[in-house]
A and B are shown apart, each in its own frame.
Chain A
């Protein structure tokens, strides 16, 4: 109760401050919310840094670890020093350069998989939830089948079939195994939104199904999917690392964070802590940045939280 009161009085003061006919739009409000949120600035700067590493690694580390002579063996596992604050990898490459040049492989797959699962999940989830009946049964049973397959085992089997494993095969396999949970969440969210009075009101005002889905259903049921997708982005970076670690992901001479972690895991206990800590830290920071950004975006996009 006191919350709504506070919300209303806040709304009113805002009205007064923008009274002189200023056009307050949804996006104007979103911008207003975002520029005042420190979390938004921190997370979006981190995301920008990560994306620039992914697409323009030469900006951050001049020589790729894959250029000849970049990895002299006498440097193998050398610990961090003033010149090389991240130390050297098991193969003798500069750890910083390896991490930077590995960003692309890890992050791009995660972004592609997230985009793919969101598109599939939102489409099929909306269809199942809105249409109900037969369409719902078919889609739900298909997701059940995928839930029945253990993720790692399924991915192992699929990836083992492909002769060459690159960004596209990894993306395809992760998407195929990742879309079902988003579909389920979207379906539930759509079903609960569909029963809202404003959907009935829209129908009473003569809105078509397509209009209701586009404006009323999607706008009100997408929030949990956004949250899940940003968390998913992190877990897909982890999944790439896992599959690479198991030997069905990227293959040398590609560098990826997953490969670095899988190497470091063996040697960290032997005292070469930097081999595990730095790649893990990169994964953790990246995942966190995307999750925070998703969280802050969702809050800003939902006028009810204002």
Chain B
């Protein structure tokens, strides 16, 4: 399989990206101080405030956080598919192999989207066009971006469906999205994301709409393909279990801020931010049968009018007076990790 894939990479046509000078020694993806605002009737909502991270080839980054914390917006900003207006990227850089995507013209960026960075969406049923067969939708990627003929495109579609483990791919290629089961549909989405051999895949809650057993299968498939093709994978989720299994490092987001970044073992062992700690404590555990589930008190803050100081302080067990006024910077913690908490030492040792 990997052989045919590298072959395909060579056969790609004169790309409209040939004029862009990618630096292969630069990291695969660097996001630096990304800022996104939404202009709403109630005011300006700062959905993403200074998120930074680096993703290398073959690496999996988990972006973790509650609904509304800005993780999907971060993904959409990287892809460049935010609805503008109301959204607006107000600052920062998104560098792919050293080239800032935010400065690119729309046409070039479109080709980056197809050939370099792909995205898997949460709900596969609504992310596939209901009136076309999955074969058509897969094949069209090749027809549009690689100039394949109808026949070639069809053969490619079958090949892709086989790759993601869809049984009887030759027949299923003519089926419509609604004729697939939920897990199979998510496999089709993965096939679509892989179609043009991107280097980066952003998976926005890829298993949220699936039941637990299917979740595990889909995640395993994604992890296998990622390893095989040395992809950079950004996994956006609120499911701590999913993250623990497959990611290398984790970026925890809260109210638009990246509040903690660390490697996955460290974060599970000794969280360095009260929010991460609270998240971990709220995972239901088999050995705590009969005990009441721990939940984080309160609600995530409104992004239009966030609390002053640290945005987590109203819900934080470690909060002092200082947290109400001083916004914590990202502290560098021992072991190449970061935490946006004034009292990170205390949290680490608690």
Interface of A with B (CB < 8 Å)?
4, 7-8, 11-12, 15, 18-19, 21, 23-26, 196-198, 200-208, 211, 215-216, 219-220, 301-304, 306
Contacts of B130 in A (CB 8 A): 198, 220, 303-304
Contact indicator B129/A15 (Cβ below 8 Å): no
B56-64, B117-125, B218-226, B295-303 - the one binding chain A: B117-125
The smallest beta-carbon distance between A196 and chain B, in angstroms, is 6
CA of A25 to CA of B81, assembled, Å: 31
CA of A208 to CA of B179, assembled, Å: 28
What are 20 of the A-B contact pairs (CB < 8 Å)?
A8-B178, A15-B172, A24-B174, A26-B133, A26-B136, A196-B126, A197-B126, A198-B128, A200-B127, A201-B121, A201-B189, A204-B119, A205-B141, A206-B111, A206-B112, A206-B115, A206-B196, A211-B144, A215-B132, A215-B140
Contacts of B286 in A (CB 8 A): none
Contacts of A303 in B (CB 8 A): 130-131, 176, 178
Contacts of A306 in B (CB 8 A): 176
Contacts of B127 in A (CB 8 A): 197-198, 200-201
Contacts of B245 in A (CB 8 A): none
Contact indicator B131/A201 (Cβ below 8 Å): no
Contacts of A208 in B (CB 8 A): 110
Contact indicator A205/B113 (Cβ below 8 Å): yes
CA of A200 to CA of B115, assembled, Å: 16
Contact indicator B119/A201 (Cβ below 8 Å): yes
CA of A306 to CA of B179, assembled, Å: 10
A11 and B179 contact, Cβ closer than 8 Å, known pairs A201-B121, A205-B114, A215-B140: yes
Contacts of A25 in B (CB 8 A): 133, 174
Contact indicator B178/A304 (Cβ below 8 Å): yes
Contacts of B189 in A (CB 8 A): 201
The smallest beta-carbon distance between B191 and chain A, in angstroms, is 12
Contacts of B132 in A (CB 8 A): 26, 215, 219
The smallest beta-carbon distance between B182 and chain A, in angstroms, is 11
The smallest beta-carbon distance between A63 and chain B, in angstroms, is 49
A203 and B129 contact, Cβ closer than 8 Å, known pairs A15-B171, A197-B123: no
Contacts of B111 in A (CB 8 A): 206
Is the C-beta of B238 less than 8 angstroms from some C-beta in chain A? no
- The B276-308 residues at the A interface (CB cut-off 8 A) are none
A198 and B126 contact, Cβ closer than 8 Å, known pairs A206-B113, A219-B132, A304-B131: yes
How does the 8 Å CB contact mask read for B249-285 relative to A, with 1 for contact and 0 for none?
0000000000000000000000000000000000000
Contacts of A26 in B (CB 8 A): 131-133, 136
Is the C-beta of B192 less than 8 angstroms from some C-beta in chain A? yes
The smallest beta-carbon distance between B264 and chain A, in angstroms, is 26
> Which of B136, B172, B175, B192 is close to A205, meaning CB atoms less than 8 Å apart?
B192
CA of A136 to CA of B175, assembled, Å: 36
Contacts of B175 in A (CB 8 A): 11, 15
The smallest beta-carbon distance between A124 and chain B, in angstroms, is 22
Besides the contacts A207-B144, A303-B178, A306-B176, what 8 more A-B pairs have beta carbons closer than 8 Å? A19-B171, A26-B136, A198-B129, A198-B130, A200-B121, A202-B129, A204-B118, A220-B129
CA of A304 to CA of B131, assembled, Å: 7
CA of A130 to CA of B189, assembled, Å: 25
Is the C-beta of B231 less than 8 angstroms from some C-beta in chain A? no
Is the C-beta of B234 less than 8 angstroms from some C-beta in chain A? no
Contacts of A24 in B (CB 8 A): 133, 174
Is the C-beta of B79 less than 8 angstroms from some C-beta in chain A? yes
Complex: chain B residue closest to A199, CB-CB:
B129
Contact indicator B129/A219 (Cβ below 8 Å): yes
Contact indicator B114/A201 (Cβ below 8 Å): no
Complex: chain A residue closest to B136, CB-CB:
A26
The smallest beta-carbon distance between B127 and chain A, in angstroms, is 4
Is the C-beta of B170 less than 8 angstroms from some C-beta in chain A? yes
Complex: chain A residue closest to B181, CB-CB:
A8
Contact indicator A201/B171 (Cβ below 8 Å): no
Contact indicator B129/A23 (Cβ below 8 Å): no
Is the C-beta of B97 less than 8 angstroms from some C-beta in chain A? no
CA of A216 to CA of B132, assembled, Å: 9
Contact indicator B178/A4 (Cβ below 8 Å): yes
Contact indicator B121/A206 (Cβ below 8 Å): no
Is the C-beta of B145 less than 8 angstroms from some C-beta in chain A? yes
Complex: chain A residue closest to B126, CB-CB:
A197
Contacts of A201 in B (CB 8 A): 119, 121, 127-128, 189, 192
The smallest beta-carbon distance between A152 and chain B, in angstroms, is 38
Complex: chain A residue closest to B119, CB-CB:
A204
> Which of A21, A211, A219, A301 is close to B170, meaning CB atoms less than 8 Å apart?
A21
Contact indicator B131/A302 (Cβ below 8 Å): yes
CA of A120 to CA of B214, assembled, Å: 47
The smallest beta-carbon distance between A272 and chain B, in angstroms, is 52
The smallest beta-carbon distance between B195 and chain A, in angstroms, is 8
Complex: chain B residue closest to A7, CB-CB:
B178
How does the 8 Å CB contact mask read for B136-165 relative to A, with 1 for contact and 0 for none?
100011001100000000000000000000
Complex: chain B residue closest to A223, CB-CB:
B131
How does the 8 Å CB contact mask read for B175-216 relative to A, with 1 for contact and 0 for none?
110110100000001001001100000000000000000000
The smallest beta-carbon distance between B218 and chain A, in angstroms, is 17
Complex: chain A residue closest to B130, CB-CB:
A304
Contact indicator B113/A203 (Cβ below 8 Å): yes
Complex: chain B residue closest to A207, CB-CB:
B144
> Which of B121, B170, B172 is close to A197, meaning CB atoms less than 8 Å apart?
B121
CA of A99 to CA of B179, assembled, Å: 49
